[in-house]
Amino acid sequence: MSQTFAPLAPGSVIGVLGGGQLGRMLALAAARLGFDVVVLTPETDTPASRVAWRTIVADYTDPSALAELAELAAVVTYEFENVPVAAVEALIAHGGDVAPGALALATAQDRVKEKSFFRASGVPTVDFAAVDSVADIVEGLSRLGAPALLKTRREGYDGKGQTWVADAADAEAAFARIGSKPAILEARAAFRRELSVIAARGRDGVVAAYPLSENHHRDGVLRTSRAPAQASHTTRAEALRIAERTLERLDYVGVAGIELFEGEDGRLLVNEFAPRVHNSGHWTLDACQVDQFEQHVRAVAGWPLGPTDMLATAEMENLLGDAALDWAALAADPSARLWLYGKRDVAPGRKMGHLTRLGSPMRRDPEIA
């Protein structure tokens, strides 16, 4: 694919599967480079569709909607990882081009497949066991130790679909707590902090990574990201190696977010990766020469990747639920760069927007390696 893809000219159409805030910010970035965006989403009136050129409202697997999208768009991308792989395969069958491809999507959708992929790629993760029954949990605990974290194999996000298993006596109840679904049991990672690396791979195979981000979660949901994370040269080099290895092995095109645990000794373990732009990279919008959304558009459009240098240190804070109702005060705060997603209804914990505060100007390129 890399050798044959001619760069898309401005005026070309980029398709996006999904209508949330990531699609919205992708559409804004695409428009800035002269592209038109068509969104396919099962919902009406989404954050992305209100800034896109066109929206097709249909199920992701609706055959005529996919045929229409493949016809309209020179390339199709996706903004969340639970898009059915069948939708991507149908687009390809219609002669469409999809980036990132089906392999990245299928790998990210199944936690056992994902961790097995990382292991096979020489990328360290926590020890784990595949779980289909209570007996698998009991056996897994004897190898991994207790407590251990039980997560549904598919469709978990923001800490949902996971529960700690205290000991073998808790195995049955724990399996019930996650709905008795196929799962993964993970050894507890002893980490001192959570980091992420946002990296892009172009059609030509070039990889560009942003400086590391340090992330803080509450109740399983990302609250703040700070960049650049202060980290040793070795840690930064290892994060870059992980990003390069991951993207190359998936023949990836686009931006990905890779979540990392940093141990007390500075060693990194991969927690998971998202085959899309990532919440922990939103600070790039205000702090970088080329932000993650433009970078993704550049990659899928076959354009050269842009520089990932930071212009200033940054802290991003998610505005969850009612926090976004403070928009007037935030708009009056000269240190806050405000991004609102245009969601009609506020709900507790819902990601309504984010803000970025910039710190000291960066004097030199803090490459992660």
Binder of ligand AMP out of 81, 97, 194, 291 (CB under 6 A): 194
Residue from 72, 7, 79 nearest 36 by CA? 72
By CB under 6 A, the residues from 260 to 299 that bind ligand AMP are 271-272
Residue nearer to ligand AMP on the CB measure, 150 or 355: 150
Q: Are 164 and 150 in contact (CB under 8 A)?
A: yes
Total number of residues that touch ligand AMP (CB under 6 A): 13
Among the residue ranges 182-190, 307-315, 317-325, 337-345, the one whose residues contact ligand AMP (CB under 6 A):
182-190
How far apart (Å, rounded) are the C-alpha atoms in residues 301 and 145?
46
Residue of the chain from 16, 149, 247, 314 that contacts ligand AMP (CB under 6 A): 149
SS3 188: coil
* Tokens standing for residue 340: 């609102």
CB 75 within 8 A of CB 1: no
Q: Which stretch binds ligand AMP (CB under 6 A): 53-61, 83-91, 94-102, 186-194?
A: 186-194
Residues 196-225 interacting with ligand AMP (rule: CB under 6 A): 217, 220
Beta bridge pairs of residue 100: none
* Residue 94 is a binding residue for ligand AMP (CB under 6 A): no
* Beta carbon nearer to ligand AMP, 28 or 255: 255
| Strands, sheet with 75-78, edge to edge from the N-terminal-most edge strand | 54-57, 36-41, 13-17, 75-78
When asked if residue 114 is in the footprint of ligand AMP (CB under 6 A), the reply is no
Q: Applying CB under 6 A, does 159 fall inside the site for ligand AMP?
A: yes
Burial call 279-316: b when 16+ CB within 10 Å, e when fewer: bbbbbbbbbbebbbbbbbbbbbbbbebbebbbebbbbb
User: Does 189 help bind ligand AMP (rule: CB under 6 A)?
Assistant: yes
Shortest CB 159 distance to ligand AMP, Å: 4
Closest separation in Å from C-beta 191 to ligand AMP: 7
Measured from the CB of residue 220, what is the shortest distance to ligand AMP in angstroms?
Answer: 5
Distance of alpha carbon 263 from alpha carbon 246, whole angstroms: 20
C-alpha 204/C-alpha 303 separation (Å) is 9
- Sites of contact with ligand AMP (CB under 6 A): 126, 149, 156, 159, 186, 188-189, 194, 217, 220, 259, 271-272
